[in-house]
Structure 1
Amino acid sequence: MSDAFSTRVLNVASGSGETVVDLTRKCEDFLREVAAGRDGLLNVFVPHATAGVAIIETGSGSDDDLLAALHTLLPADDRWQHRHGSPGHGRDHVVPAFVPPHATLPVIAGRLELGTWQSVCLVDTNISNVNRQVRLTFLG
């Protein structure tokens, strides 16, 4: 495989509750190993129908605000056509339309170029799927 393209799959235990998991450090660790000071792009992809990737501030309540907003927009009740799983699980399948399952981010001189308060996060509202995979791909 070319040095210009590197990929890794992270296994993330997202737990049995709705959550926002900060992946920024794992993204930075990956880039330290593979980017070697080069410019390029980092793609973060979640291969799941009920999770997404958000670039958001964490630790100040914004992550909880995001989950609350998703509850307001997409209540976990019996209105959904998709009905298997836990009550209201159909809304989990709509979440990726609002929080997409991917993000592509600039890498400059081997470092992730995020704004001061930005973090790369897995957003998981599916309480029945406690283990997730996240694919990191560097192209540079």
Structure 2
Amino acid sequence: MRQAAQTLSLQTPGPGLHEITREVVAWTAAQGMTTGLLTLFCRHTSASLTIQENADPDVRRDLEDWVAAVAPESAAYRHQDEGPDDMPAHLRSVLTGVQLSVPLIGGRLALGTWQGIYLFEHRRRPHRREVALHLLGD
């Protein structure tokens, strides 16, 4: 049993689903393992991770709209330290989560045909985000 760990540093242009599948797949392949489990962890409270369809961009837009409707910007929140998008970003992160696990089978991540890995930026302005990767396997 071996393990490997790395932190991906990503620059987001602003809110939305930003696909990171290529970076994650490339790093995983470079580890030379054939069977295992990859854990991804977003090191932030106002961004999150999700696995979602990567074929039709309307899926991403609909998800972004839905999350914004469920946790809208509002002056009613007590926590507004960094502006009106601050607390909604925390709520949106709770909805989608900050950790993912993806099996490694036959040297490949076991993602479905239309699945991609996304960093979901919930703040309006660009941010530097970190995603920790940990691969355990053979």
TM-score, length-normalised on structure 1? 0.90
Q: CA deviation at 1:79?
A: 2.1
2:37 is aligned with 1:41? yes
Query: For 2:8 and 2:90, how far apart are their aligned partners in 1?
Result: 22
Q: Give the counterpart of 1:7 among 5, 8, 12.
A: 5
* Bigger strand fraction: 2
Deviations 1:59-91 (A, max 9, x none): 411111111011110001212221111223211
Alignment of 1:6-85 (within 5 A): 6-15=4-13, 17-34=14-31, 36-60=32-56, 61-85=58-82
Conserved? CA contact 2:55–2:114, under 8 Å = no
Structure 1 outlier segments of 4+, above 6 Å: none
Q: Cα deviations across residues 19-44 of structure 1 (Å, max 9, x unaligned)?
A: 2111111111011111x242100111
Q: TM-score, normalised by structure 2?
A: 0.92
Gaps of 5+ in 2: none
| Aligned sequence identity (%) | 25
